[in-house]
Amino acid sequence: MKRNIAVFASGRGSNFIALAKEAQRGRLKGANLALLVCDNPNAPVISAANKLKIKTLLVNPAVFPNKKAFEDAILRHLKENKIGLIVLAGFMRILSARFVKLYKNRIMNIHPSLLPAFKGAHAIKDAFGYGIKITGVTVHFVDDKMDHGPIILQREVAVLESETVDSLEEKIHKVEHNIYPEAVNLFIKGRLKVKGRKVLITTH
């Protein structure tokens, strides 16, 4: 039986597209990319989902009286679509502790730095400006703090002397598009065991 996945995105959705293509190639065995959840009516990811024939839920927070009502609408659709894993891919909203608790260790996020370094929305620019020699990508489970949950996978990215912010961003995105499907595969195969802050990757 396939595990239904929902991807949450607010912008271009390059990681959503990468996951969808991997699924189409049959490389996410046991996974069904069932739903895109988007909070931005102008996001390019919506047209990408339409082209890929993936069901889209547009939930505009402007039409809800508060965050709870906004999240309740999302939760209702997640239940209807029997979602077993949520994958955040540039979703520019912090999920409440209540929401995260309902999907404990079933929400993944990808972050363009080697956490816990350079948290927040401008990680690539911040890391570059700091003058570091090595940065990278982190996939982690989401908890009730920003960029904080147990780490699933990390990959290093070297920062060359000739690097620009744009060239570094391009390198990091390439790594993201490889590491995220890998993490999703591990989850689908039941190979991720969370013990406190550690995520153990089992052999089967």
Which residues does the annotation mark as catalytic?
Answer: 111
The span from the CA of 172 to the CA of 194, in Å, is 26
What does the DSSP 8-state code read for residue 70?
H
Residue 58: both structure tokens together = 């547009």
Residue 178 φ then ψ, to 5°: -95, -40
Work out whether strand 31-38 and strand 56-58 pair parallel, antiparallel, or are unpaired. Answer: parallel
Q: How many residues make up the chain in this entry?
A: 204
The span from the CA of 107 to the CA of 105, in Å, is 6
What does the DSSP 8-state code read for residue 63?
G
CB atoms < 10 A from the CB of 67, how many? 15
Exposure b/e, 150-167, CB count within 10 A at least 16 = b: bbbbbeebebeeeeeeee
Block residue for tokens 């069932």:
34
